[in-house]
Structure 1
Amino acid sequence: MPPTKTDFSPEKELLQDVDSDRFDSPDRDLSQAGYDSDDIMSDRSEDCGMRGQIYTNKFLNLKKIKCFGFDMDYTLCEYISPEYDQLGFDLTKSSLVKRMGYNTRVMDLQYNPRFPVRGMWFDKEFGNLLKVDQFGKILDCIHGFRKVRGEELRSLYPHKIQRKDDNRVFVMNTLFNLAETHILASIIHLFDMCDAFKQTENGWIDTENNNREISYRQLFEDVRNTIDYIHVESMELKRVTVKDLARYVKKDDRLPALLTQLKKGGRKTLLLTNSDWWYTNIIMSYLLSDYSNKGEWLEYFDLTVVDGRKPKFFTKECELKEVDLETSEVGPIRPDDLNTKKRVFSGGDHGTITKMLGVDEPEILYCGDHLYGDVIKCRKECEWRTLLVVPELDHEVNVSMESETLIQELHKLENILSKDAQQFVQLRETLMSCVSKLDKGYGQSGSLFRAGSRLTYFGSQMLIWADVYTGSVINLCNYSIDHVFRPPLMLLPHETPAQGSLQSQISIDAQ
């Protein structure tokens, strides 16, 4: 059940859980503290020793890679956070009120970049955001902005487990989902806390809006419909973005240098994006050439494919079509040489595109940000190698370094409990406090990769499926075109040092 309703102040409620130690200035603008904000990064050492690194899960020899493939959105095109997330949030809430008939109070909701984290599951039955591990064990549960714990959590989820049921659970996989995660939590919190909304078993009745009944599932479907509307049908998000590219899209001079370096090294390059031609052309023109010289950017790629429809691109045979660059219309492929420069294709599938590139599947390294659509389905269905782009990574690494003392303390406590479980009652409060402080360092909803020391569903899937991962595709510039990525040695439990030896290394003081 929600807490007792009081006078509702969206901004006050939203910011009440922010760790004041990390924002010590009362005048500091929290809206500028996103995962890629220059403001929040400027407070940290520029030479962190880890920035620009590519991390390795599996052995990967770039010398054997003959083609580098790239997604566009959040890969080659890095959207600026929190400005871009704020735009998605504002367009969504406006459309919910004007187009879907939601209560006008929704317009008062404010976006806080420290709240949402990617990879959470939304439970359509109970309206909760869940952070889970790879087996569905619930690591964190949030209803609106309220943490659900203890007996309340166990009554909703026996054994604290929620399996991945597509009918009940939606996974917030992409960075586009940050705004969606936040708007769902914001509306649930508003409806729970405001007297204008009467609580029902699975939702609310809006007494100010013709007693409209809204269930958690209906709310999710309305938000999902609205997100699709502003992204695809009305293309409002894209239209606003291209009107102010400098505000929403990061331009990096190293990108054309990277693509040029690959071409000079004898590698082929592929652009494969789900975006349509008109938007792709504007974005890539901005990133790779003078904005007035549209189309010149095509020279950077041996093959350009729009409307990719990933993950279907990796799972089904889809018809390949061609874009008429004069009219932007999509039609049958012209009977010319497919390798002719400045041709743009639409659709297709991984088998067709691999043949057009003239390489074998293991000789392609595909770089993308969508863990499921760009990496998991790719690795399950074909032999392309994968580089996962995780824009939040620099922030996560920086917080981990700043929280080194807390992490060491957490490891000490867990090591003690592994040897003497009976101490759990005495150490429980200390352990929970340590986990809470660590998680809050990353944001109000914790880390993308962990809850305390436990790996999240996102973290475990990344570890299993991505060959390598990094914060920006530009980080390829930091490595030789023939670099060999070797993963760290992974030891099985029986191969780790003896517990006594480990104890002496950590020097735990149980007192």
Structure 2
Amino acid sequence: MSQRNDKDDVPEFILENARSSEPVPQTDRIYANKVLNLGNIKCFGFDMDYTLCEYISPEYDELAFRVAKTHLVKMVGYPEGILNLEYNPGFPVRGLWFDKELGNLVKVDELGQILVCIHGFRKLERAEIRAKYPHEIQRNDKDRIFIMNTLFNLAETHLLASIIDFIDSEENIVHTENGWILSGGKGKKTLTFKALFQDCRETIDYVHMDSMELKKLTVADLPRYVKKNSCLLRMLRNIKDGGKKSFLLTNSDWWYTQIIMKYLLNDENSDEDEWMSWFDLVIVDGQKPRFFSSGTPLLRVDKKTLEKIPVDSVALDSNPGGLVYSGGDHTTFTNMLGVLEPEIIYCGDHLYADVVKCRKECDWRTLLVVPELVYEGTVIQNERNILKELHHLESILKEDVPELEDVRIKVSDCIQRFDTAFSESGSLFRSGSRLTYFGFQMLAWADLYTGSVANLGRYSLNQRFVPPPLVLPHEIIEPVHHIPS
């Protein structure tokens, strides 16, 4: 008689969750800023672009850069020399602010203190920064500042920097504080940094949304631009088998969404809409961050004709499975899902639209997806000796030592070496020991954060996430220094 295996009667999803209690590799971990018990979560929501759909970098960024610069030359009338500009993946970092008045890319801390300032590809020295920005501070003035919040903005960041660098090096131009006076066949023309920004912003919007040129090129070669991650199915299966609900909420339209999601979740033998079975609701054209405040009119999408049909409020009581909705707001869909707001966790990559605005306007919990996290963590490990040296030097600055100016110079050199180890624009999260605006906002607003949303599949659905203890400066116990009498 064969020995009975107790595991024979245990559902697979419980076994998978039990296995997930094993230590998770650092590259796949989820990090907590707030206490969050997944056992209290009844519904998981997912963004698509850069969340479920991971675009391959730098190939996708180079594609967006190439399409945008071509549009600027062919359709807007910029110099043909811009077509020769090349994308350098080692330059841009997300989270930079573009100063439309002075044409600078600036990295700031939570109070607007400037950590790094770049004009074109040239980093400004501290004396130059002080001359342009009183007290080396730039506030988040919406008329003057545009924040490069998303990974979609990497190509735009590089486009602005490279065009400014290109025009700065041209002959027959006059530099002004706010741009240039260009000389050409039709006489002199003034081009301000603000006008350049507006042209680039409208171009990015056009190639992404209006013409859908970037989307058409992406779907024409999906393996080149979109990462197919088999771990997504394991994660979604865990959620479904665990009796939890899930939904897709994306700003993308239905035409593009269904192509991407079929590629990610269907196999060659699947029915066309099989991927939708993983979600209790599918919402396109979400228009986040507005989705979390006033919302937009709720429509239903005809999956075949793409026609958008007004939704009768009575129909919201029916089973939404297999339907596709357009627009709406967070309150409507929370009610349709039949759960309370704190029982939903929404996973997205856009710090402001997916996390900050969500947490300000409703009680959904949030998981921020930060694809740069694995790379940044690797750099910190590789450069930990520089970081230790920096912390040592900064501790010396607290003392009254005669070599104070020499120490300051060494600190500045340490920060420069540490920052450039990440990219030419530094780290997404910090400059030396100081958090960037992005890093501070992530810490303040995101309940959890991780490098890939698929990492959820590595954890039990009852996982309790607890952040490290937050210690105030006066609570740190230090050695007692006796003051000489």
Normalised by the length of structure 1, the TM-score is: 0.87
Which of 81, 106, 122 aligns to 1:130? It is 106
Amino acid at match of 1:297: W
The aligned residue for residue 472 of structure 1 is 452
Q: Distance in 2 between matches of 1:80 and 1:198?
A: 40
TM-score calculated relative to the size of structure 2: 0.91
Alignment-mate amino acid for residue 351 of structure 1: T
1:88 aligned partner:
64
Shift of 1:208: 3.7
- Give me the whole-angstrom Cα distance separating, in 1, the residues matched to 2:421 and 2:78: 34
> Quick one: which of 224, 232, 236 aligns to 1:259?
236
Q: After TM superposition, give the deviation of residue 193 of structure 1 in Å.
A: 1.4
The match for 2:443 is 463
Partner residue in 2 for 1:163: 139
Greater Rg, structure 1 or structure 2?
2
Structure 2 distance, partners of 1:86, 1:197, is 29
Q: CA deviation at 1:498?
A: 1.4
Change (3 A) 1:70 1:255: same
Q: Does 1:113 align with 2:93?
A: no
Task: Please state whether the residue corresponding to 1:347 is helix, strand or coil.
Answer: strand
Matched, 1:230 2:210: no
Q: Deviations over 1:349-372 (max 9, x none)?
A: 000010000000000000000000
Q: Does 1:342 align with 2:326?
A: no
What is the CA distance between 1:305 and its match in structure 2?
0.4
Structure 1 position 230, deviation (Å): 0.3
Q: Which amino acid aligns with 2:110?
A: Q
- 1:306 paired with 2:288, answer no
1:284 maps to 2:261 = yes
Assess, with a 3 A threshold, how the Cα gap between structure 1 residues 278 and 423 changes in structure 2: closer, same or farther. same
Aligned-partner residue type, residue 227 of structure 1? I
Partner of 2:247: 270
| Contact 1:133-1:457 within 8 A present in 2 as well | yes
Structure 2 CA distance for aligned equivalents of residues 196 and 426 of structure 1: 43
Distance 1:244 1:480 in 2: 35
- Which of these residues, 127, 149, 167, is aligned with residue 151 of structure 1? 127
d(CA) in 2 for partners of 1:447, 1:155: 25
Q: Could you tell me which residue of structure 2 aligns to residue 400 of structure 1?
A: 380
* Paired residue secondary structure (1:366): strand
User: Which residue, 48, 53, 56 being the options, matches 2:32?
Assistant: 56
- Deviation at residue 410 of structure 1 after TM alignment: 0.4
Aligned-residue sequence identity (percent) comes to: 56
- Structure 1 pair 421/286, CA: closer, same or farther in 2 (3 Å)? farther
1:90 partner SS: helix
Q: Deviations over 1:327-348 (max 9, x none)?
A: 1111122665532421010100
Which residue identity lines up with residue 302 of structure 1 in the other structure?
A: D
**Structure-2 change in CA distance of 1:275 and 1:81 (3 Å):** same
**What is the CA distance between 1:386 and its match in structure 2?**
0.1
> Partner of 1:174 in structure 2?
150
2:414 to 421, 434, 443: 434
For the residues of structure 1 that align with 2:396 and 2:98, how far apart are their CA atoms?
35
> What is the CA–CA distance in structure 1 between the aligned matches of 2:161 and 2:320, rounded to whole Å?
50
- Matched to 1:174, the amino acid is T
List runs of 5+ in structure 1 lacking aligned partners: 1-46, 502-511
* Structure 1 vs Structure 2 CA RMSD: 1.6
For the pair 1:331 / 2:298, whether they are aligned, the reply is no
1:417 Cα offset (Å): 0.6
The answer to whether residue 434 in structure 2 is matched with residue 454 in structure 1 is yes
The whole-number CA distance in structure 2 between the counterparts of 1:277 and 1:422 is: 66
SS at match of 1:438: helix
**Residue identity in the other structure for 2:404:** F
Mean Cα deviation higher: 102-111 or 327-336: 327-336
Contact 2:281 2:320 in 1 (8 A): no
Deviation at 1:194, TM superposition (A): 1.9
One-letter identity of the residue aligned with 2:114: I
Is it true that 1:378 corresponds to 2:338 in the alignment?
no
- Cα deviation, 1:58-113, whole Å, max 9, x if unaligned, reads 00000000000000000000000000000111111000001110011111111010
Alignment correspondent of 1:142: 118
Task: Please give the secondary structure, in 2, of the residue aligned with 1:442.
Answer: coil
User: Which of 254-263 and 405-414 deviates more?
Assistant: 254-263
In the aligned structure 2, how far is the partner of 1:371 from the partner of 1:346? Answer: 22
* Deviation larger for 279-288 or 193-202: 193-202
**2:471 partner amino acid:** L
Conservation of the 8 A alpha-carbon contact between 2:37 and 2:462: yes
Q: Which among 70, 76, 79 is matched to residue 46 of structure 2?
A: 70
Letter of the structure 2 residue corresponding to residue 328 of structure 1: L
Which of 354, 358, 369 is the equivalent residue of 1:389?
A: 369
Decide whether aligned partners of structure 1 residues 359 and 200 sit closer, same or farther in structure 2, where only a CA change above 3 A counts: same
**Letter in structure 2 aligned against 1:401:** Q
Secondary structure class of the residue paired with 1:420: coil
Partner of 1:174, secondary structure, is coil
Kept in 2, the 8 Å contact 1:123–1:169? The answer is yes
Provide the secondary structure at the position in 2 that maps to 1:99.
helix
Distance in 2 between residues matched to 1:48 and 1:107, nearest whole Å: 45
| Offset from partner CA, 1:401-435 (integer Å, 9 cap, x none) | 00010000000000111223654302122111111
Query: In the alignment, which residue of structure 2 is the partner of 1:369?
Result: 349
Tell me, in whole angstroms, the C-alpha distance in 2 between the residues paired with 1:387 and 1:409: 33
Return the letter of the residue paired with 1:431.
V
8 Å CA contact retained: 1:285, 1:293 = no
